[in-house]
Amino acid sequence: MNREVGGLHDQELELVHETVRDFVQAEIAPNADAWEADADFPLELFRRAGSIGLFGMKFDPKWGGTGPNLRADVSVTEELARGGSAGVANALGAHKDLACHYLSEYGSDEQKERVLRSAIAGEKIGALAITEPQGGSDVAGTATRAERTSHGWRITGQKVFITNGDFADFLIVLARTDPKPGRRGLTLFLVERPLAGLEARRLSMLGWRPSHTCELFFDGCEVPAGAVLGEEGRGFYHVMKALEWERVVMAFGATAAARLALEKAIEYARERMIFGTPVLANQVWQHRFADCLADLEAARALALQALDSFATEGRADLPAMAKLVATRTACRISDEVVQVYGGYGYAMDYSAQRFYRDARLGPIGGGTSEVLREVIARLNHLSTPR
């Protein structure tokens, strides 16, 4: 299925940037430090973002979207990442790029009308529940089970590292509908709250602190027959395709956040005096910053190539490559940012340490860098039979 990548003239795309930038600078950036300290943010932000169309860029107007336009959508991701709060950007991104994306790709017309429309408007909040305590990146190893009942399905199991998990109005849940192990027999479900037997526990994380990262416990949760999302028994394959989009947007988010961190570091280096001259007057830092800028441009160029390929169902290895390179680059740049701040980079009162902590999840979420290398090797016929 070909998707629209462009569709907007440069002037129109810049208008999208300005709209999102104004929202971020008014609603997120001024509150980033306070939300970091509180490890929380107001959920009303979802409704305000939805009211100006931030969640609808890649979705059909039939369901309340303004797209489909993937280039406009990743511009939203980039601007959100520049708000200085990776936790909030992640919460909003998990809603639009995970939960809503799955609904748009695999939902029935009835599911889209009932849930996706409200989600695009920010009136309902979504979460994706795939990862399990013993599985990690091993989607095929999903142990949560869904057993057929006379009225629908009964879901039992546990999920972990679920963004928005404790307050989401709906969850996209992967469960095993066939007891035999392996890729076949996994099915996606649209699970809506309130739901008896579903409990959530928020986790304390190294970074993305305002984001609610949770464990979920399904204790015989009863869902109707119409809760199946996509094709029964094809959940693994649905997830693999959706992961390509997740990796594309993670690449854009990582490069945008790293650029913000680098800008802050260069500004600091202009002002910070050492031995009577600004830090930036030293060639060693000029060259280190030059390397960072060059790496950022290369990483974003690869992300753009991955975006074009995803839209035309081209090379399936490019999203993995883009995320691998972008998140690795973001981690290295955030480390340089801490270094140029010196002792202040290690102090909690300065933002350098937050950029460092927030960047570190990039090589883990959405498929670890180790898994991505396996994907790239397999798709490029580098692996050998075991």
Catalytic residues, which ones?
246
CB 168 within 8 A of CB 99: yes
DSSP 3-state of 168 = coil
Dihedral sign for Cα atoms in the order 109, 115, 119, 122: positive
Q: Which helix (DSSP H) or strand (DSSP E) does residue 297 occupy?
A: helix 283-311
DSSP 3-state of 377 = helix
Q: What one-character-per-residue DSSP string does 37-102 give?
A: HHT---THHHHHHHHTTTT-TTS-GGGT-S---HHHHHHHHHHHHTTS-HHHHHHHHIIIIIIHHH
Overall residue count recorded for the chain in this entry = 386
Contacts of residue 369, Cβ cutoff 8 Å, sequence gap at least 6: 324, 327, 328, 363
Which pair of structure tokens corresponds to residue 13? 């795309």
The rounded distance, in Å, linking the Cα atoms of 338 and 344 is 8
Q: Which residue has the tokens 């959706």?
A: 242
Paired with 126 in beta bridges are: 170
The rounded distance, in Å, linking the Cα atoms of 46 and 30 is 17
Which pair of structure tokens corresponds to residue 326? 């972008």
CB 235 within 8 A of CB 293: no
Phi/psi of residue 362, nearest 5 degrees: -50, -50
CA separation, residue 94 to residues 18, 120, 191 (Å): 22, 13, 16
Q: Which helix (DSSP H) or strand (DSSP E) does residue 246 occupy?
A: helix 235-271
Which pair of structure tokens corresponds to residue 99? 């939960």
